[in-house]
Amino acid sequence: MAMWVFGYGSLLWNPGFEVAETVIATLPGYARSFCMRSIHHRGTEAEPGLVLALDEQPQAACTGMALRVAPGTETQTLAYLRERELISSAYIERNLAIRLTDGRVVDAVVYVIDESHGQYCGGLPLEEQAQIIAKAVGGRGPNTEYLHNTADHLREVGLRDADLEWLQQRVKDLCS
C-alpha cells in the first residue's frame, strides 16, 4: 500500500525524501497559517520565528500537495519526517484522509499543530506575523526564505493563498 504525505509548507519545496508522485490535494477541517513559533529551524528560543502549521477549523479546508513516497523507502521516510517535524513536539502526527484532484481519496501522514503546546500562537494579526518573519533567523536560515519559498511554490503549482501573498509582499516591503 502506498504511503502518502500531505505537504502544505516547506514539504512543498523541500520534502527531503524520494517522491514517486505529486498530486494537488485538499485536507478538510484544517487551515494553513503561521500559528507555530519556530525556535529551531526559522528562529531561536530567544527570538522565535514563525512557521506554517495546520490549525484545526471544522469549516476550513487546506489545499496543498500529496506526496507519494517512493516504494521501498517508507520506513526511512517516516523516520526522517519524525526527526524533522517532531523536533519540539509542537506538531502531532496524524493519518488523515485527503482528496486528490483526480478524485482519489487516500490516507496521508499529516503534521498538525498541538494547540496546547507552548509554541502555538494561532490568531496573530498578519502585520505582527510580517514583523516577526522579516527579522527571524534560525538553524535552517532566515524566516523570510521559508515564507518566500512556500508562497512562490504554491503559485508555481497554481494554488493561491491570499494571506501568504499579503505576507510575502509586506515582508518584502519591510526588508527593502
Residue 123 and residue 57 in contact, taking contact as beta carbons nearer than 8 Å: no
**Domain encompassing residue 54:** 4-175
The pLDDT of residue 8 is: 95
Q: Cell numbers 494553513 label which residue?
A: 32
Closest of 171, 147, 104, 175 to residue 12, by C-alpha:
147
Q: Output the pTM of the full model.
A: 0.93
Pairwise CA distance, residues 62 & 154, whole Å: 12
Residue 79 is placed in which grid cell?
523516520
What digits encode the pLDDT tens for the residues 81-119? 999 999 888 999 999 999 999 999 999 999 999 999 999
The pLDDT of residue 89 is: 87
H or E segment to which residue 138 belongs: strand 137-138
Residue 81 is placed in which grid cell?
519526517
77: CATH? 3.10.490.10
Q: Is the dihedral of CA 52, 168, 150, 84 positive or negative?
A: negative
Catalytically active residues, by annotation: 85
Pairwise CA distance, residues 29 & 22, whole Å: 21
Structurally, the chain folds into a number of domains equal to 1
